[in-house]
Amino acid sequence: MSLPERNAAAMSTQAPTQTPTLEVRNLCTSFYTRAGVLPAVRDVSLRVAPGRILGLVGESGSGKSVTGFSILGLVDAPGRISGGQVLFKGRDLTQLSAAGLRELQGNRIAMIFQDPMMTLNPVLRVDTQMIEAVRAHRTVSKREARAHAGRTLALMGIPSPEERLRAYPHQLSGGMRQRVAIAIALLHAPDLIIADEPTTALDVTIQAQILSEVQKLVREQGTSLIWITHDLSVVAGLADDVAVMYAGRIVEQGSVADVLDRPQHPYTQGLIDSLPSRNKRGQRLRQIPGMAPDLLSMPTGCAFAARCSRATSVCAQEPPEREIAPGQTVRCFHPGAADAQ
Partner 1 sequence: MRSESTPLIELRQVSKTFGKAADSSVQRLLQRLHVTRPRPVTHAVDKVDLRIQRGEVVGLVGESGCGKSTLGRMVAGLLPVSSGTALVDGQPRDSLTPEERHAMRLKVQMIFQDPSSSLNPRLRVDRIVGEGALLHGLTDKHGFDDYVSAQLQRAGLSPQLRQRYPHQFSGGQRQRIGIARALAVQPELLVCDESVAALDVSIQAQILNLFMDLRDELGLTYLFISHDLGVVEHLCDRVVVMYLGRVVESASVDDLFARANHPYTQALLAQIPRFDVRSTRYDAIQGEIPSPLNPPAGCHFHPRCPHATARCREEVPALREVSPNHLSACHLNDLS
Q: Which residues from 240-299 bind partner 1, rule CB under 8 A?
A: 256-257, 260, 270-272, 274-279, 281-282, 284-288, 291
First-last CA distance in the chain = 42
293 is in the binding site of which of ligand SF4, partner 1, ligand ATP, none (Cβ under 5 to 8 A by kind)?
A: none
Query: What is the closest distance, in whole angstroms, from the C-beta atom of residue 247 to ligand ATP in the complex?
Result: 9
332 is in the binding site of which of Mg ion, partner 1, ligand ATP, none (Cβ under 5 to 8 A by kind)?
A: none
CA distance 212 to 96: 34
Question: Residue 100 CB: number of other CB atoms within 10 A?
Answer: 13
- Is the CB of residue 328 less than 8 Å from the CB of residue 261? no
Alpha helices in the chain (DSSP H): 3-13, 64-71, 98-104, 126-137, 142-155, 161-165, 174-186, 204-221, 232-238, 256-261, 266-273
CA angle at 316 for the pair 311 and 321, rounded to the nearest 5°:
80
Q: Which residues from 20-79 bind Mg ion, rule CB under 5 A?
A: 65
Minimal CB distance to Mg ion: which residue? Answer: 65
CA distance 164 to 183: 12
- Is the CB of residue 300 less than 8 Å from the CB of residue 321? no
CA distance 245 to 253: 9
Query: What is the closest distance, in whole angstroms, from the C-beta atom of residue 153 to ligand ATP in the complex?
Result: 28
- Is the CB of residue 77 less than 8 Å from the CB of residue 203? no
Residues that bind ligand SF4 (CB under 6 A): 266, 302, 304-305, 308, 310-311, 315, 319, 332-334
Is 329 near ligand ATP (CB under 6 A)? Answer: no
Q: How far is CA 198 from the centre of its chain?
A: 10
Rg (CA), the chain: 21
Query: What is the closest distance, in whole angstroms, from the C-beta atom of residue 248 to Mg ion in the complex?
Result: 13
- Which of 67, 105, 152, 209: binder of partner 1 (CB under 8 A)? 209
Query: What is the closest distance, in whole angstroms, from the C-beta atom of residue 310 to ligand SF4 in the complex?
Result: 4
Q: Which of 90, 14, 86, 22 is nearest to 254 (CA)?
A: 14
315 is in the binding site of which of ligand SF4, partner 1, Mg ion, none (Cβ under 5 to 8 A by kind)?
A: ligand SF4
302 is in the binding site of which of partner 1, ligand ATP, ligand SF4, none (Cβ under 5 to 8 A by kind)?
A: ligand SF4
Residues binding partner 1: number (CB under 8 A): 49
Q: Which residues from 15-54 bind ligand ATP, rule CB under 6 A?
A: 31, 33, 38, 40
319 is in the binding site of which of ligand SF4, partner 1, Mg ion, none (Cβ under 5 to 8 A by kind)?
A: ligand SF4
* Footprint of ligand ATP (CB under 6 A): 31, 33, 38, 40, 58, 60-66, 79, 230, 295
* Footprint of partner 1 (CB under 8 A): 1, 3, 6-7, 10, 59-60, 159, 173, 175-176, 203-209, 211-212, 215, 230-234, 236-238, 256-257, 260, 270-272, 274-279, 281-282, 284-288, 291
